[in-house]
Amino acid sequence: MSQFALRSQRVITPEGIRAATVKINDGVIEAVLPHNENPGCTVEDLGNQVLMPGLVDTHVHINEPGRTDWEGFNTATQAAAAGGITTLVDMPLNCIPVTINKQALHEKMEAVVDKLWVDVGFWGGVIPDSVDDLDELLSAGVLGVKSFLIDSGIEEFPNMTEEDLRKAMPILAKHNAPYLIHAELDSEDTEPPVIGDSYQTFLESRPKQWENDAIDLMIKLTRELKQEGHHCKTHIVHLSSAEALENISAARSEGLGVSAETCPHYLTLFSENIPDGKTLFKCCPPIRENSNREQLWQAIKDGVIDFIVSDHSPCTPQLKHIDSGDVEKAWGGISALQFGLPLIWTDALDRGFELEEVSRLMSAATADFAGLGHIKGRIAESYHADLLVFNDGAEYLISNDMIKHRHKITPYEGKAVVGEVMATYLRGTKVFENDQFVTGPAGQPLLKGNLK
């Protein structure tokens, strides 16, 4: 691959935003040079457009193999490229089979061939019946493992009990791999209410207490296992309840390896604005009230929430019950893979965040979490040349015809945002520019043990 360089007045580097010329050689960043220095190769000058690290989205449901009518690697990774995401990590459900053993991981590896437009890592899963397969699954290359503490909605991915967790956590600790937890716990085995099309009833049916209780249980187990010498890296996915923040923060001060993520929908949407019958807004845990949202933003500012990921979780329009507006029956999940950066940047601007901070929350911090922080998520020497060109001042409305994921539906239709992804480079290859995909599916699977 030939050498080339990208020059901008605003390059986001680990040391901050500065004018620089980034020299790329064979897919890798060879040097970050002073702006005016001649790199000795072709230079593309981006002017004042921002050159930033490609996003690393560690929470994406692609559902292939098995549920390709919901999504698939080709469409999901195209949407990723269009959104400036150069690395994503796929969830172990809702594909068939669920990725709970080595064999299922192999089936997934066969399913990705020639379909990846960005680099893709894989989370495994652990369910009560698969604890014995966990050691082998982690050795086979997954970056970590996920479990639910409540019904996942997928029959073949049942939740773990406290007893199961006690068996799984030392194995995760041995592999130094993150343990991702869907943290909702219905301690009282509540009878589900009749929800119909009412968003408010749906919201009340998944109270903050479920999240708080699940997180307290995970903190307790992480502490107990640490006392026994097992340092489990417990991670709370898609945190919605701001009430849990205090205990997460305290656990961390105590030296426990507990981290947390949240998602654009919890940070940009709020329940007071969600009309009844609008099933596109349904996800679990639910989008809560505006005051809760502001507390989540504060937690990001304070560093209690570590990073922001999409939790892109699509299904067919039929399963989403778009036409009937039946919130109760609708599949829970938000589809918006490619819009994460403009959504977050728009709201972050209002709250006084700098673009470097948004970049860290969506690239470096997520790359570090997934064990990819030595090759992904930063514009620095010897890192993969995964880059995005961002027009941070472009203003527009999100419309369904922009969508690159499989089903052209999203709760953000009509939303005004700031910031547009102009081009995306994957390991030095331009894969997206001016709303067009270029070159071809140049992505690679990322397996632990083979990350360089």
Name the residues that contact Zn ion, by CB under 5 A.
311
* Smallest separation (angstroms) from Zn ion to the CB of 187: 22
Identify which of residues 311 and 347 has a Cβ nearer to Zn ion in the complex: 311
* Smallest separation (angstroms) from Zn ion to the CB of 370: 15
Identify which of residues 7 and 265 has a Cβ nearer to Zn ion in the complex: 265
* Smallest separation (angstroms) from Zn ion to the CB of 429: 29
3-state secondary structure of 274: coil
Q: 387 has which bridge partners?
A: 53, 425
* Smallest separation (angstroms) from Zn ion to the CB of 180: 9
- 8 A C-beta contact, residue 320 and residue 331: yes
Identify which of residues 169 and 284 has a Cβ nearer to Zn ion in the complex: 284
Question: Tokens for 274?
Answer: 């969600």
3-state secondary structure of 186: coil
3-state secondary structure of 353: coil
- 8 A C-beta contact, residue 417 and residue 339: yes
Q: Cβ neighbours of residue 326 under 8 Å, at least 6 residues apart?
A: 196, 197, 277, 279
Strand ranges inside 109-232, DSSP E: 119-122, 124-125, 145-148, 178-182
Q: 165 has which bridge partners?
A: none
Per the document, the length of the chain is: 452
* Smallest separation (angstroms) from Zn ion to the CB of 261: 10
- 8 A C-beta contact, residue 164 and residue 196: no
- 8 A C-beta contact, residue 370 and residue 121: yes
* Smallest separation (angstroms) from Zn ion to the CB of 115: 21
* Smallest separation (angstroms) from Zn ion to the CB of 331: 12
Identify which of residues 340 and 441 has a Cβ nearer to Zn ion in the complex: 340
- 8 A C-beta contact, residue 257 and residue 234: yes
Q: Distance between CA 172 and CA 170 in Å, rounded?
A: 5
Measured from each CB, the residue nearest to Zn ion is 311
For residue 264, cis peptide bond before it (omega within 30 degrees of 0): no
CB atoms within 10 A of CB 162: 12
From the list 128, 200, 198, 137, the residue with the least C-alpha distance to 165 is 128
Identify which of residues 64 and 311 has a Cβ nearer to Zn ion in the complex: 311
Identify which of residues 180 and 244 has a Cβ nearer to Zn ion in the complex: 180
Backbone phi, then psi, for 396, in 5-degree steps?
-165, 175
Identify which of residues 312 and 448 has a Cβ nearer to Zn ion in the complex: 312
* Smallest separation (angstroms) from Zn ion to the CB of 199: 20
Identify which of residues 311 and 368 has a Cβ nearer to Zn ion in the complex: 311
* Smallest separation (angstroms) from Zn ion to the CB of 147: 12
Q: Write the DSSP symbol of residue 361.
A: I
* Smallest separation (angstroms) from Zn ion to the CB of 437: 26
Identify which of residues 125 and 441 has a Cβ nearer to Zn ion in the complex: 125
Angstrom distances, CA of residue 405 to CA of 81, 129, 146: 11, 33, 24
Identify which of residues 39 and 144 has a Cβ nearer to Zn ion in the complex: 144
* Smallest separation (angstroms) from Zn ion to the CB of 28: 32
- 8 A C-beta contact, residue 390 and residue 419: yes
Strand ranges inside 126-230, DSSP E: 145-148, 178-182
* Smallest separation (angstroms) from Zn ion to the CB of 313: 5
Identify which of residues 92 and 441 has a Cβ nearer to Zn ion in the complex: 92
The alpha carbon dihedral of 5, 11, 15, 21 has a sign of positive
Q: Cβ neighbours of residue 68 under 8 Å, at least 6 residues apart?
A: none
From the list 12, 2, 10, the residue with the least C-alpha distance to 46 is 10
Identify which of residues 338 and 424 has a Cβ nearer to Zn ion in the complex: 338
